[in-house]
Amino acid sequence: MAPNRDPTFLTQNTPTLPQKPAKLSMETLQRTISDISFELLSQETLISPAEKPTSPALPPISEIEDAKCECCGMSEECTLQYVKKMRDKFGQMICGLCSEAVKEEMGKNGGMRDEALHAHVSACSKFNRLARAYPVLCQAEAMREIFRKNRAKSLSPRDRGGTNVNKGGIARSSSCIPAISKEINTQKMV
């Protein structure tokens, strides 16, 4: 036998197959959870109330209400403080998306909140009135706007409506096809 009765010395010569870990049964897991919870409860009872560390009190959970945006009509869950903050800031309850859109619009028009809010409210009402009722019409209008913008950016004189534009470059006086076909016919005769 190996020195100090080491059993690993004996098993080094024999090949060993890796063994799978034993599966834990649900009963074993329940027993373990029960033992841990028992230990925690017994430790809590051993500590006197004077020795218990005082943790800061958690703030009360504020009430959450389902608030509807007065601009786009979307509803979202908001705290009462958030609703009050939005009403104080904009004069009406608007959602976070509309708030960001109004901020963008304020950046475009020089920081005038009332004008930006009015522009966004009118855009939302137009969208709610037309796009939701007639989505195909809205898509056609968007394609028309894209075409109109691209047409305005075009550099081609034909797109600008100019017919009497002075054309530069070499102008063609006649076609070269008859000359080529004449050469081919003369080569066939020879």
Which tens digits make up the pLDDT trace of 95-114? 989 999 999 999 988 888 88
Query: What's the whole-model pTM score?
Result: 0.43
Query: What pLDDT is attached to residue 55?
Result: 64
Indicate the pairing of strand 64-68 with strand 75-79: antiparallel
Q: Cα(109)–Cα(36) distance, rounded to whole angstroms? A: 64
| 14-18, 114-118, 126-130, 132-136: least confidently modelled range | 14-18
Higher pLDDT: 36 or 81? It is 81
Answer yes or no: is pLDDT of 162 > 60.
Answer: no
Q: How confident is the model at residue 139 (pLDDT cuts 50, 70, 90)?
A: confident
Query: What pLDDT is attached to residue 110?
Result: 84
Q: Is 79 exposed, middle or buried (0-12, 13-18, 19+ CB in 10 A)?
A: middle
